[in-house]
Amino acid sequence: MSSLVYRRDIDGLRAVAVIAVVLFHFGVPGLTGGFVGVDVFFVISGYLITSIIWHQREAGRFSFVEFWARRARRILPALFVLIVAVLAVGWFLMAPKDYEALGHSVRYQVMFASNLLFMRQDGYFDVASDLKPLLHTWSLAVEEQFYIVFPLVLTLLASRFKHWRLALFSVLLISFGLSVWAVAQHPEKAFFLLPMRAWELLAGAMLAVAPVNKTRLTSSAAQCISLLGLGLILIAVFAYDKSTPFPGIAALLPVLGVVALIWANEHHTTWVGHILSSRLMVGLGLISYSWYLWHWPVFVFASYASVEEFGPGLTGALIALTLVLGYLSWRYIETPFRERRLLAGRRQILVAAGLGILVLGLAGQALRWTDGLPSRLPEHALQYANASHWRPELMACITDDKSPADKPFCRYGKTASAVEPAQLLVWGDSHGTALIPALEANAREHGVNVMLASSAGCLPLEGLEHGERCAAYNRRVEQALKKEPVTDVMLVARWSLYLYGDAKGDHGHALKDADGRYDPAVAEQKLADGVRARVEQLRKAGYRVWLMKEAPLQPFNPPYRLSRLAMLHKPTADVGFPLAEHLKQKAFINRLFAQIAATDAGITVLDPTPALCDASGLCRAQRDGHSLYTDDNHLSEAGARLMLPVLAPVFEEASAQALTGVSEVNTAR
């Protein structure tokens, strides 16, 4: 068993972990796997905490209350100060939706459960990760949960089982097995939840309670093991990236690397140990907790304030700022509390912790109750920010993974409560939902009944659906189509998503080859075949077909960018995306639709581009003080209203066919 003595090399190892995480989050090139620094922290925490618990148990002076008081003294003061600072900065800088989300995360974090919140925030329109100032506290929540449970588990095993170390190792193996399973089945749970992360902390714990071996490693063996350990960590830091299935088996590299380093340097001070024990590395390790706390909120708020992506100079300055804030937090908050210069008694720190939890929890909940205090914002900034979400009625029309299989299709017609048979079917993904304001208005004006079938992430093409949910949904639409006197069908989707993936390079929804690999040429061919097949099927059944092109994408989130620019008193008039770039992005789909429409007078292409892009060559993100988008690709209600004249020909044709009795053809179907 390891001796309970201060080890400079472990503080140096903390420095390695925090440097990797900070540089990764700031997008420094090369460190694509810097997120494994969190796993390094987990192993170190498991080792140190278990060493403290076990040595106090052996000395007969371990106290659960004292242990938890020490953890509160170590973690909570710096965390609470950070939360207060984040709430204060957010007051001046954050849009209501983001400020409300911040309040939600504050409430969960003070309950030691922010990992549960962030795990669930994987919905279709959830706030992007780089707009969550407390996202990084998920790892603190995991550790806090471990600190609550582990002393009880260790005490139970050690007092009830003769071979308790074997029992503890069995718990580690179970946790590791859960992690491997969850990475494939539920990756968000694998990443955020304690049961799938506990094995990393337990790896350090097992090292701390390992029986003392009188046979020491030779110096050369320790050197080799130490170098191997460092190598495993660095391989993960430089070779992994966001696409790496993690944690699971991939986490073995950093975890075993940390175990090897701690174990080897327990026997001999190695070359790696000398480097880790240097004054610089130890100093960074000492402030690593506070540095970790401050680095991510600085990144998030700088992203808000700067609007544009950071250049190298600004990135370096921001990293330096986080280091300074980390040092100040360590010196003036962490250290006084750890040295018991403030709230020295056990009862005092626990009462203060309880009050802090209560006050901050209520503050976070207040932001939820008040919808992020929109009154903080100037009127024009609030107007932009409000576009970041659709009305509940629109959201209710999207079918997704959480929707019941028999969720009714939305309908629009002569009156708001129209439930009459449909003459027009609008069929597609969530971009169909974005058109609801224009569909409603046109339906009432032209007296046409519309059925909207929109399912998030689902192409309205047979055989190209993303998963069984989409396939089942399309089958439902096909069955419903047979029962309605529909004369016209409009196909609408974010076509480029299935061709090329999203703006971040994620090809999750893009069409793949037979082996599941992404190739743009394959995706283009499959989409072309799928559109042609669906159009041919609909035309043979007698329907008039309308192919709706997608709106120009924006390379940013317009409501956030516009509201932030307004809050910073910067101009918003020329915010947008070049028309030439939009046409270049959509060249394939434009060519495909034109070719299909040229073969049959019953096929018409609808193009939203002229309504959103002007003669100056800019596809604008706003008009008359309103954001035209709710995110980087979906139209807002203001943007959808610009689609009224674009969609008008569909309704004029459907109305004319209804008047001339063409719907009788459908009865014969």
Could you read off the pLDDT of 608-625 as tens digits, one per residue? Answer: 999 999 989 999 999 999
- pLDDT at residue 126 is higher than 70: no
DSSP assigned state of 416: T
Confidence band, pLDDT 50/70/90 cuts, at residue 314: very high
Residue 37 and residue 20 in contact, taking contact as beta carbons nearer than 8 Å: yes
Q: How far apart are CA 265 and CA 13, in angstroms?
A: 11
Residue 640: predicted pLDDT: 95
**pLDDT confidence of 655, banded at 50, 70, 90?**
confident
pLDDT of 125: 43
Residue 668, pLDDT score: 41
Is 60 exceeded by the pLDDT of residue 20?
A: yes
pLDDT at 130 over 80: no
> Who's near 457: CB < 8 A, 6+ residues apart?
400, 429, 430, 466, 470, 509
Q: What is the mean pLDDT of residues 422-444?
A: 94
Query: Per-residue pLDDT for 168 more than 90?
Result: yes
Which of 89-93, 113-117, 407-411 ranks highest by mean pLDDT? 113-117
Res 660: pLDDT: 66
Q: pLDDT: is 3 or 435 the higher one?
A: 435
Closest C-alpha among 438, 362, 350, 358 to residue 394: 438
Lowest mean pLDDT among 120-129, 486-495, 529-538: 120-129
Residue of 192, 202, 77, 197 whose CA lies nearest to 137? 192
Per cent of the chain over pLDDT 70 is: 95
Query: Looking at the predicted structure, is the pLDDT value of residue 662 above 60?
Result: no
Calculate what percentage of the chain has a pLDDT beyond 90: 71
Burial of 88 (0-12, 13-18, 19+ CB in 10 A): exposed
Confidence of residue 665 (pLDDT cuts 50, 70, 90): very low
Number of residues in the chain: 669
Residue 306 has what pLDDT?
75
Q: Are 494 and 431 in contact (CB under 8 A)?
A: yes
Looking at residue 380, its pLDDT comes to: 87
| pLDDT tens sequence across 179-190 | 999 999 999 999
Long-range Cβ pairs for the range 110-114 (8 Å, 24+): 110/83, 110/356, 110/357, 110/360, 110/361, 110/364, 111/357, 111/361, 112/140, 112/141, 112/144, 112/145, 112/148, 113/141, 113/145, 114/138, 114/140, 114/141
pLDDT at 5 over 80: no
Between CA 2 and CA 262 the distance in angstroms is 10
Mean pLDDT of 629-647: 94
- Entry pTM: 0.79
Round to whole Å and give the CA distance between 309 and 505.
17
| Among the listed residues 266, 159, 277, the one whose alpha carbon sits nearest the alpha carbon of residue 212 | 266
Helix residue ranges per DSSP H, 94-163: 96-110, 114-120, 138-160
3-state secondary structure of 556: coil
- Which of the four pLDDT bands, split at 50, 70 and 90, describes residue 416? low
Res 664: pLDDT: 43
User: 537 pLDDT band (50/70/90 cuts)?
Assistant: very high
Name the residue among 418, 451, 417 with its Cα closest to residue 436: 451
How confident is the model at residue 77, as a pLDDT?
97
CA–CA distances in Å: residue 179 to residues 30, 174, 186, 194, 198: 27, 9, 9, 10, 9
Positions of E strands within 405-520: 410-412, 424-428, 450-455, 488-492
Q: How far apart are CA 15 and CA 40, in angstroms?
A: 10
Residue 30 has pLDDT above 60, yes or no: yes
**Residue scoring higher pLDDT (512 or 660):** 512
Q: What are phi and psi of 594, to 5 degrees?
A: -65, -40
Q: Could you tell me which of 567, 565, 620, 572 has the C-alpha nearest to residue 629?
A: 620
User: How are beta strands 626-627 and 622-623 bridged, if at all?
Assistant: antiparallel
Q: Would you call 535 helix, strand, or coil by DSSP?
A: helix
The average pLDDT across 513-541 equals 93
> Confidence band (pLDDT; 50, 70, 90) for 667?
very low
Q: Give the whole-angstrom CA distance, residue 177 versus residue 195.
A: 10
Higher pLDDT, 5 or 407: 407
User: Looking at per-residue confidence, does 57 or 285 come out higher?
Assistant: 285
